Structure formats: structure tokens, C-alpha cells
Copies of this chain bind each other. A is one copy, B any other.
């Protein structure tokens, strides 16, 4: 297919361009990063040590005309969870890499000297440059400065101070088309990049070979069908474009699954203060953008630009999980201060979901009072940004805060913070959090779709029956979608509309001249999960680690049900 593997060795400071091994040719995104990590990284290695690798791979449909196809996967062994990790993000880097014909960028080794570097990729190859110019700088400043030097179309992957400090919550930021920030958020990829002493990577696709479509007419037709199903579906065509992911505030609160005061209650009287509807009105009143695409070709546009009262930019890509965890779960009923925190987390380069749970646990530990938005902002923007001892504790993740302060009400699975959906009352999420190969992660198997939104059928969120099957099906589907380069949001119509699902594999077929069937998609998802699970088992994980924290046995008001799923029942997840 004319594609290549770019390999960067930070120990010897050498780069290489390699042919794509036969077994990797039809893989992309998560399927490819997990395959490479499993093949090349010893599962027991130190995540911040010389044997870990950092792999970037565009999805199979990246840089094509298919809607919402520009996601990139970052793969590594996670310093947060100790498991294999794939974290995917929008932005422009995947499309830039794909236009250069780069199937994967593999970064390995650790520098022998204590020096910082940048990596520059273009049609001639990759160059490693000793480069301390931006050390200590935030992501916004770096992206702006590089854009001024190298042009606005340059793709950028960067870490903020958190990644430099090798904090386990550090993310890898990706420039979006407007020079704002998307993130490979979860799992601490920024710390891995920081351990390799790489501050940023630029991708210049000028003169690259571009993307060849094997069957252009078929591709065009399937892309049309695909786009139409996205626009016609009430979630991707209406809800998300209007309110963003924050449409979830009222839905989850209504369901009694809205985490309040570190998972003590399931419903919050002040939810309206931070809801998607409220946020939409605020954004419109302040001349922000209520709907905005994070990548070229996005027709859902669930992102937005949030301005302050004076109409000045505060943040973009302001998501439900961040708003919920800093809002209801921290008792902060103030979108403006949460937006500032979101900006600070993007600028410093920490995962804005882990960041929310970090603050929840910090409040639990008495580090700051419940509901104190200003102190939350200070902890993030001063303590974490400067890597003070307290900042290190916080930046190292919610589990770190809990351990360091000797408390047990710590909502993590495999040391990763539980996102903004209570697993007791959306019980499919409980199974997803417990069994995900990457620690607690709602995107691994988005059970609320079927538990609450009646998408892809309905499974009662409050009973145990059916949740394991639901989560398994969703996790298999997600692993496949994460390999395509399509945004996970397309799963809403794909679960409901057969032509949408068919269009996904037909687009891949048309792109590469393949003849995949629906069953192949399912098999791909299973392959990905099993590959990841095998890595984790070799790293020392067992079924015992597929469990929720002890405190979830507490009944959650208003439904007053606790988590008491038998371990053996959870373990049925892996029977496929």
C-alpha cells in the first residue's frame, strides 16, 4: 500500500523508515498501536523506562473524505495503570501523518543525556533536534509559536509541564484546525513522551504522497450514506451539535447516576447551573461557538468555543466529564471557573477527566474545601503547573492523591479515575470500568447508550442482568471503531442504523480494496481486546484487578442501590 513505519530511537538519536510488516498492513489506529506495543514492549517493563515505546497510528480512514475520520491512536504501556494503553484524539496530526504515508510512528529508547528534544517529520523522514526552547511552556504558547514559525497547517503533538514532570496524568496534546487543543488524554502518554525527553513533534505533510483510494466511486457513495446517517440521527445530528457532550448533565442527573460529592449521591439540585442547555445559552450570549469541529471533515461538531463574560476565549473541547467531575462531583456550580480549569489542564497537559477525579479525591482528603472553584483552579494552575510537591501528588493521578493521604474513598480502577457516570445506577458502566483493558474508561464501552439512551436496544441500568453482555458487545465494537480513525460518536447511529454500520466497513473496503464483512469488524474488535488482555496478563494483571473500589458497596441515593456484582459474574466478560 506504499505506507511506511517511521521509527525514532531516542537512545542513539537515530531515525529509520521501514516497510510495513505484512501482519500490520490492514491494521490502523488502536488495532495497530496495541499490536505494536504487544509485539515490541516487554509487558513487565517500567512504563517510564528504556523498554517502553510510544506509538502513534492514524486510523484506517484517516485523511479520507469520510466524515469524522481523522482520529489518531497513541499506544504505550501506561505509567498510570501499568496496563497497555490506547488513547485516541482528534485534531490534525492523524491526517498529516496519513498524507505522508506514515502508518505508524514508533518512538523508542531513552536519551543518554539529560537534554530535551523535538522531532520533525516531513516527506523526507524524521529529524531529531536538541531543543529546550519551550521547556516549561504551556501547550497554547507552544502551538501558537510553532504555528507562527512553521505555518498554521503544521501538525503538532506536544506535552505541557505535566509531561515534562512525567506526571501519570499527563496527556499528549494535539493541535486542532484552529490552533486550539485536543488530547490523547487518558493513561499518562504525556509522561511517556516526557520520559523520552521529547517536548513536541511537528508533522509537515507538504509534498506527501497523499491518500490513494482503491475504489473511489464506491468510497464516495459510502461516504455519502455514512454522512447522511450521522446527520439524520437525533444524537449526532441534533443533540451533540447543539449542546456538545455536556447534553449529558440533565440526562445523567435525571437517571440518578450523576456523581455528587465524590460519588455520595446520584442527583444534584444545582445541575442546571452547569447543564448543556445553560452552557449553550452562555456561549451564544458571549459570541462563542456553541458547535465546532475538532478536525477537518467533522459534521457532528460536538466541540465548542467557550468565552468569558468579556467575549474573550477561555477554552474549547469543553466536555461533559470534566464539567461533571469538577461540577457536581466537586460541588462547584460555576461554569466559568470550571472552564478556566479546563483551559489550565489543556495548557499544562493533564487529562481533564483524571484532573476532575484528582480534585474530587483532594477534597475528600481535606486538601481543599468542597465546592471551592478558585482553589481548584489554583491547585491546577499553580501547584501542578510548577511541579510543587503538592502539584506532583495531584498530577500523578487520583490514586496517587488517595494513597498519599491514606484515604480509601478513591474512585479508580487499575489506578485510573472513574469518569462522570455512577456505576451503581448505570451498571453497564460498572462492567466497563471493571473489565476495560485500560482501567476505568467510559469510552471503552459506552453503556449509557443502551442503559439510558435506548440506543442499540435497552438494558435496564439498575439490574445486573444483561450488563456483562452489553459491555462486552460495546467494548468489542469500540475496539473496532477505535481502529478505523472514526470518532466514537459515530457509534450512536451505527448501533441504531444498519446502513451506517455497513458504511463503516464498506468505506474501509473501498479505501484499501478489501472485502471485509460485518463479522470481520467484530473479529477485529475481539482481536484487539484479546491482544490487550494478553499483554496485561503478562504484566501481572488477573481477574482480581477487574473490580470496582470497595466503597461502591454503599447504596447510592436516590435509587439506593449499591454495587454488589459477584466477581465470577464480572469474569464472564472474557468468555468470548
| A542 cross-chain contacts in B, Cβ below 8 A | 540, 542
Contact of A539 with B by CB under 8 A: yes
Count of chain copies: 2
Say how far A391's CB is from chain B's closest CB, in angstroms. Answer: 8
Say how far A324's CB is from chain B's closest CB, in angstroms. Answer: 25
Listed stretches A17-25, A59-67, A164-172, A260-268; interface member: A164-172
| A544 cross-chain contacts in B, Cβ below 8 A | 44, 538-540
Number of interface residues of A (CB under 8 A): 38
Q: Is B406's CB under 8 angstroms from A79's CB? A: yes
The residue in A46, A51, A79, A167 that gathers the most chain B C-beta atoms within 10 A of its C-beta is: A46
Name A51's closest neighbour in chain B (CB-CB). Answer: B550
| A408 cross-chain contacts in B, Cβ below 8 A | 46, 48-49
Name A42's closest neighbour in chain B (CB-CB). Answer: B550
Say how far A26's CB is from chain B's closest CB, in angstroms. Answer: 32
| A545 cross-chain contacts in B, Cβ below 8 A | 540
Contact of A423 with B by CB under 8 A: no
Contact of A527 with B by CB under 8 A: no
Q: How far is the CA of A168 from the CA of B407 in the complex (A)?
A: 11
Q: Is B407's CB under 8 angstroms from A403's CB? A: no
Q: How far is the CA of A220 from the CA of B154 in the complex (A)?
A: 87
The B-contacting residues of A in range 546-576, CB under 8 angstroms, are: 547, 549-551
Residues A44 and B547 in contact in the complex (CB < 8 Å), given A396-B403, A404-B396: yes
| A87 cross-chain contacts in B, Cβ below 8 A | none
Say how far A558's CB is from chain B's closest CB, in angstroms. Answer: 23
Say how far A179's CB is from chain B's closest CB, in angstroms. Answer: 29
Q: How far is the CA of A411 from the CA of B451 in the complex (A)?
A: 46
Q: What are the 7 tightest A-B residue pairs by CB atom distance, in nearest-first order? A: A166-B406, A540-B544, A389-B390, A389-B389, A46-B408, A49-B408, A392-B404
With contacts A195-B406, A539-B544 known, what are 10 further pairs, Cβ within 8 A? A44-B544, A45-B550, A48-B406, A51-B550, A165-B406, A191-B406, A389-B393, A392-B393, A393-B393, A540-B545
